[in-house]
């Protein structure tokens, strides 16, 4: 039997992975205890997605286990043993603002939870491929030291800089920078995932995400900015922009394009490899541009205000360079540009909000 384990299986990336890999594997085992609702309240609950996936896929089996619970996880790994061929580890406390409220919880989920998953993989299915969703926050606020230029609606990097054409690559240092508590717990996990590849010879891949997005994100004010913005646009909820004149730039990758990266990596894995993964120059926007897009697509004027104080450690300009991944996996490419992603988000979220299960 071929089995894939997906942690965070009710979330954006985990849920997309379930959709994709139920078509490729005999069984997909999900692990998600809806901790997102503890982090972000009702907006963040992912229960609706779990119910949707369970109804849709008969070869999807879901466990409410907490990834901090080693003994609970061990039961799952022992049940499926060497039939486990793939682990996608996407469960996390994902917000740097929230992490400062409870650093112990944040570190327990992001760092220790990841170590639990790695160690159980090593002990029970050492031949499996292990994919970890890291983050561009491992680079801390170093991107803010790049030479940036203020344009009418966005910050941009100076045209003569090496990162101008394709964005920030994996050569950027992750050391000597302000990561935020969240960034630091993800660094711990990121390095440990690399180590299980380099030291123990497990096929581990680290994907350092820019903004990961898609219609099935349970967008909340503290996490999932495009999904939350679109939700506000549809429902008329007020939105607050924090700092940088609203010109901060993010690259955005649809979760389906990211999961397709995972599929390419799974078929030809490397040990302890690290990739930046985002929308790159192909799909990115500033906050102000994102608002314009949401207004255009929803046909509604958004209600928003501007607060001078930026989020601590927030990037002013971040665009991922995915050329290393493309070099290793030349047949992969993006399918969703920003407009396609936002159109899909609008239509699906609108539908969900009408039936009120999101
Ligand atoms: N969304 C982004 O913009 C973004 C950007 C960079 C990196 N990432 C990383 O990608 C991964 C997935 O992000 P996402 O946007 O899909 O997040 P998400 O919050 O939508 O999904 C994560 C899921 O994990 C679950 N979870 C959290 N803690 C858990 C625990 N202790 N035990 C079991 N389940 C738990 C949550 O309930 C949630 O359903 C995370 O590792 C995140 O740090 C996300």
Q: Is the CB of 66 under 6 A from ligand 1?
A: yes
pLDDT for residue 4 is more than 60: yes
Query: Please, what is the Cα angle at 324 between 323 and 329, to 5 degrees?
Result: 95
pLDDT for residue 72 is more than 60: yes
CA distances to 55, 145, 177, 216 from 172, rounded to whole Å, are 43, 11, 11, 31
74 CB-side CA count, 13 A: 5
Which residue CA neighbors atom 26 of ligand 1 most closely? Answer: 91
State pLDDT tens for residues 182-206. Answer: 999 999 999 999 999 999 999 999 9
Quote the CA–CA distance of 148 and 155 in Å, as a whole number: 6
pTM of the model: 0.97
Helix-strand-coil percent breakdown of the chain, rounded to 5? 45, 20, 35
Task: Give 134 Cα–ligand 1 centroid separation in angstroms.
Answer: 10
What is the rounded average pLDDT of the residues 128-148? Answer: 98
pLDDT for residue 251 is more than 50: yes
Q: Which residue has the higher pLDDT, 52 or 219?
A: 52
Quote the CA–CA distance of 242 and 126 in Å, as a whole number: 44
pLDDT for residue 301 is more than 60: yes
Task: Give 8 Cα–ligand 1 centroid separation in angstroms.
Answer: 6
Task: Give 64 Cα–ligand 1 centroid separation in angstroms.
Answer: 15
Predicted confidence band of residue 357 (pLDDT cuts 50, 70, 90) = very low
Mutate-to-test residue for ligand 1 from 212, 215, 225, 358, highest number of ligand atoms within 8 A of CB: 212
Which residue CA neighbors atom 14 of ligand 1 most closely? Answer: 12
Quote the CA–CA distance of 51 and 49 in Å, as a whole number: 5
Percent of the chain clearing pLDDT 70 (strictly above): 99
How high does pLDDT run on average in the chain? Answer: 96
Q: Is the CB of 184 under 6 A from ligand 1?
A: no
**Among candidates 90, 92, 114, 86, which has minimal Cα distance to 22?**
86
CA distances to 8, 68, 161, 167 from 47, rounded to whole Å, are 11, 19, 44, 36
Task: Give 152 Cα–ligand 1 centroid separation in angstroms.
Answer: 33
Task: Give 42 Cα–ligand 1 centroid separation in angstroms.
Answer: 16
**Ligand 1 atom with least separation from CA of 37:** 37
Beta strands 239-242 and 284-286, pairing class:
unpaired
What is the rounded average pLDDT of the residues 69-89? Answer: 98
Q: What is the pLDDT of residue 356?
A: 52
The H or E element containing residue 40 is helix 35-40
Percent of the chain clearing pLDDT 90 (strictly above): 93
Task: Give 170 Cα–ligand 1 centroid separation in angstroms.
Answer: 22
**Ligand 1 atom with least separation from CA of 68:** 31
Query: Please, what is the Cα angle at 159 between 156 and 162, to 5 degrees?
Result: 100
Task: Give 223 Cα–ligand 1 centroid separation in angstroms.
Answer: 10
Q: Is the CB of 18 under 6 A from ligand 1?
A: no
Task: Give 83 Cα–ligand 1 centroid separation in angstroms.
Answer: 25
Task: Give 183 Cα–ligand 1 centroid separation in angstroms.
Answer: 14
**Among candidates 214, 165, 178, which has minimal Cα distance to 319?**
165
Q: What is the pLDDT of residue 358?
A: 39
**Among candidates 260, 92, 122, 93, which has minimal Cα distance to 200?**
122
What is the rounded average pLDDT of the residues 262-274? Answer: 98
Least confident of 114-128, 131-145, 215-229: 215-229
Which residue CA neighbors atom 23 of ligand 1 most closely? Answer: 8
Q: Is the CB of 113 under 6 A from ligand 1?
A: yes
Mutual angle of helices 287-298 and 338-355, in 10-degree steps: 60
Question: What residues form DSSP beta bridges with 133?
Answer: 207
Question: What residues form DSSP beta bridges with 205?
Answer: 131, 273
State pLDDT tens for residues 101-122. Answer: 999 999 999 999 999 999 999 9
Which residue CA neighbors atom 44 of ligand 1 most closely? Answer: 212
Quote the CA–CA distance of 77 and 124 in Å, as a whole number: 6
């Amino acid at each position: 039997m071929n089995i894939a384990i997906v942690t965070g299986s009710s979330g954006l990336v985990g849920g997309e992975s379930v959709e994709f890999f139920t078509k490729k594997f005999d069984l997909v085992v999900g692990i998600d205890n809806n901790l997102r609702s503890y982090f972000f309240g009702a907006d963040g609950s992912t229960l609706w997605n779990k119910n949707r996936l369970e109804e849709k896929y008969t070869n999807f089996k879901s466990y409410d286990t907490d990834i901090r619970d080693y003994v609970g996880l061990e039961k799952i790994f022992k049940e499926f043993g060497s039939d486990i061929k793939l682990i996608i580890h996407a469960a996390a406390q994902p917000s740097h603002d929230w992490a400062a409220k409870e650093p112990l919880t944040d570190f327990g989920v992001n760092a220790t939870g990841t170590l639990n998953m790695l160690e159980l993989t090593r002990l029970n299915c050492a031949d499996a491929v292990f994919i970890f969703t890291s983050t561009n926050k491992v680079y801390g606020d170093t991107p803010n030291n790049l030479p940036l230029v203020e344009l009418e609606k966005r910050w941009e990097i100076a045209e003569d800089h090496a990162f101008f054409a394709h964005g920030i690559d994996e050569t950027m240092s992750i050391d000597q920078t302000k990561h935020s508590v969240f960034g630091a717990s993800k660094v711990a996990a990121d390095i440990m995932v690399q180590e299980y590849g380099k030291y123990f010879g497990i096929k581990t891949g680290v994907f350092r995400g820019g903004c990961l997005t898609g219609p099935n994100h349970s967008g909340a004010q503290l996490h999932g900015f495009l999904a939350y913005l679109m939700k506000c646009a549809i429902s008329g909820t007020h939105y607050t922009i924090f700092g940088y004149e609203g010109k901060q730039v993010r690259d955005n990758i649809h979760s389906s394009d990211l999961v397709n990266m995972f599929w390419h990596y799974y078929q030809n894995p490397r040990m302890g490899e690290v990739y930046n993964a985002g929308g790159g120059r192909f799909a990115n926007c500033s906050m102000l541009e994102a608002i314009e897009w949401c207004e255009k697509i929803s046909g509604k004027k958004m209600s928003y205000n501007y607060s001078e104080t930026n989020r601590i450690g927030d990037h002013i300009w971040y665009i991922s360079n995915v050329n290393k991944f493309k070099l290793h996996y030349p047949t992969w490419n993006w399918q969703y540009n920003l407009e396609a992603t936002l159109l899909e988000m609008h239509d699906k979220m609108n539908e969900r909000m009408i039936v009120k299960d999101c």
